[in-house]
Amino acid sequence: MSETRKTNHYWSLQAITLMSNNFATPLTQEQSDTFRQLTSSLNEVQLAWMSGYLAAITAQNGNLIPVPVKNEIIEKQGLSPITILYGSRTGNGEGLAKKAQKLALEFGLTTILKNMDDYKPRDLQSEKNLLVIVSTHGEGEPPFAAKELHEFIYGKRASRLENVNFAVLGLGDSSYFQFCKTGKDFDLQLEKLGAKRLANAGCCDVDFQETADQWLKSTLSAFSGLDGNKVTVTSGENIETSVSQKYSKKNPYQAELLEKINLHGRGSERQTLHIELDADLPFEPGDSAGIMPVNTSELVNEVLSITGLIPEDEVEVKNSKMSLFDALKKEFELSKITIDVVKRYLEYAPNEQLAAILQSPEKLQDYLYGRDIADLFSDYPVLLSAQDLVKILRPLQPRLYSIASSPKANPGELHLAVSVVEYENGGRNRRGACSNYLSDFDGNENKIPVFIEKNPNFRLPKNDETPIIMVGAGTGVAPYRAFVQHRELAEKRGKSWLVFGNRNFESEFLYQTDWQKFLKSGALSKMDVAFSRDTEKRVYVQHKLQENAAEIYQWLEDGAHFYICGDMNKMAADVQNTLVSIVKNQGAMSNDSALDYVNKMQKEKRLQLDVY
């Protein structure tokens, strides 16, 4: 008998044994009697065939891998489950929540998986055991999924939670001033409301897997020490152990460069590249591609010159030996300074002036802007060994670019729109790490390491006939090219409206010929453009929205989905404020009612943002 048949036969016998011992089953009594009668008449070969047949049906209905529960574990009665409550923007939090649910089984714990986006805040008072996993967006903002619950626990209607045991795992990026602020907020406020903290809050940086795994195991161990947990999995969402993606941040796909075109016309002082890669990776319109860059040899040599270190010095990185030159080129951030690097730098080289800057967010932000690691070592010199240098530096991170193509329109390919970062500061030329890596890449020998970063909160409507309004500036237009390509192939498609902005019409009208083609075919119904430097009074995308206020509102009333992609600090905020203003004026509403209208759109995923 093959190993697969042996396994299926084993689990068939286990099921029969459990049923004969009166263990709980999802079958009705009639179904259970029929099942026993049938299986008792089968020989080993027939049982193996039946178990394989049932396994195949299960696989077809969702590609789930069954998680067997050992039959010697007996359920305890009347005990409280752990609610795993997650809120995230990109899906990392959801992935960790599902991992926590799997780990909980190993500890013999009952779990219920819930998304903050669907969670009723008043249900908090009914919880007994709560594990919160939440990310922080930008400078301390909760992701939209967590916004309502975050506001509730800080509001006047928040209930006392003396009967709740809790632990919080925060996800964030230590290059921001408010690292993991949302996670810290939940941790502190739940305690203030009377809940009992079972574990110190976990704070995970961008490379979070190892830290998160350790924290989850330690915290679930603390939960398992409580009196009152049993082995069952119930969930507001299905527990799924889907087959993991073959390619990831740690194991990127090696993509071949197919084409590289400068999208800017003559006379432009800037450069935006259209890049086409041969990358057979599964993705959806709205997803991003992560590119693993390398630093320029020029910048590496500048750092080596300033520190006086030798390129051939050997250092240890991730348990491997390599030359300092290779480590600086391939493993560490050099093109920017981040807060975590300044903190570690001061541990090795105490400096009153730099320490004073670190204590002032405004001064620190001014200092960090436009500077790189060579500036830090030049401004505040210190003698370091090669190994100490790499301990101070931040691991080189992938850069994420919105994918500018549809997998249906361009199977096996992946298109990107990349703004090339180059500027002069302090008498030195500065170049963005990834944009210039792609700009200089000739494709003759090497390939480009790439992986897919899912973006479940920036998706086309499930119904192709739903109207969409897309607002973007600069390379923020990239995902809309994917959206329109995708919709062009739909049997029935709803109206689509693009509002695009950039500096100049002649030199910076990104994908102009594509939009003209889509307008002609009907894949794009309407387009408005704002070129800010072509007029005496600068005109931006929000002004075009205001000019079309009545029509925008009518589209919204007809159920249109509204998308915003681009700069988080300025453009996105201006567009959102304009949207509220349009709803207020066109709908004859109060400001509060207009805010409620827009918030409801976002809650229903009719307003979606991809901002950076």
Q: Tens digit of pLDDT for each residue in 361-404? A: 899 999 999 999 999 999 999 999 999 999 999 999 999 999 99
- Residue 462, domain member (yes or no): no
480 and 555 belong to one structural domain: yes
Query: What is the reported pLDDT for 242?
Result: 36
Q: Which of 108-122, 304-318, 321-335 has the lowest mean pLDDT?
A: 108-122
Structural domain count, the chain: 5
pLDDT at 12 over 60: no
In the chain, count of helices (H) and strands (E)? 22, 21
- Residue 289, domain member (yes or no): yes
CA distance 405 to 537: 34
**Which pLDDT band holds residue 8 (cuts at 50, 70, 90)?**
very low
279 and 405 belong to one structural domain: yes
- Residue 76, domain member (yes or no): no
- Which residues span the domain enclosing 260? 253-293+398-453
Residue with tokens 């919105």: 402
Query: What is the reported pLDDT for 34?
Result: 66
Share of the chain above pLDDT 70, in %: 84
Please indicate, yes or no, whether the overall pTM of this predicted structure exceeds 0.85: no
Query: What is the reported pLDDT for 50?
Result: 59
Using CA atoms, how far residue 589 sits from 127, 320, 548, in Å, is 38, 63, 18
**Which pLDDT band holds residue 26 (cuts at 50, 70, 90)?**
low
535 and 437 belong to one structural domain: no
Q: Which of 39-48, 221-230, 287-296, 499-508 has the lowest mean pLDDT?
A: 39-48
204 and 343 belong to one structural domain: no
Mean pLDDT of all residues belonging to the chain: 86
- Residue 458, domain member (yes or no): no
The 10s digit of each residue's pLDDT in 406-431 is 999 999 999 999 999 999 888 888 99
CA distance 502 to 474: 5
Is 238 within 8 Å of 261 (Cβ atoms)? no
- Residue 71, domain member (yes or no): no
447 and 475 belong to one structural domain: no
- Residue 459, domain member (yes or no): no
275 and 357 belong to one structural domain: no
pLDDT at 9 over 50: no
Rg (the chain; Cα; Å):
28
Tokens representing 378?
């030049």
511 and 606 belong to one structural domain: yes
Query: What is the reported pLDDT for 134?
Result: 96
Query: What is the reported pLDDT for 4?
Result: 42
Q: Which of the 8 DSSP states describes residue 40?
A: H
In 3D space, the residue among 62, 90, 83, 81 whose CA is nearest the CA of residue 241 turns out to be 62
Kindly state the average pLDDT of the residues 5-24. 43
262 and 402 belong to one structural domain: yes
Burial 565-582 (b: 16+ CB within 10 A, else e): bbbbeebbebbbebbbbb
In 3D space, the residue among 381, 331, 390 whose CA is nearest the CA of residue 354 turns out to be 381
Spell out where 247-372 has E strands: 253-262, 272-278, 288-291, 314-317, 320-323
Q: Look up the CATH number of the domain holding residue 440.
A: 2.40.30.10
498 and 599 belong to one structural domain: yes
**Which pLDDT band holds residue 28 (cuts at 50, 70, 90)?**
low
Kindly state the average pLDDT of the residues 589-599. 96
509 and 488 belong to one structural domain: yes
pLDDT at 77 over 60: no
257 and 366 belong to one structural domain: no
Tokens representing 310?
């030798």
446 and 472 belong to one structural domain: no
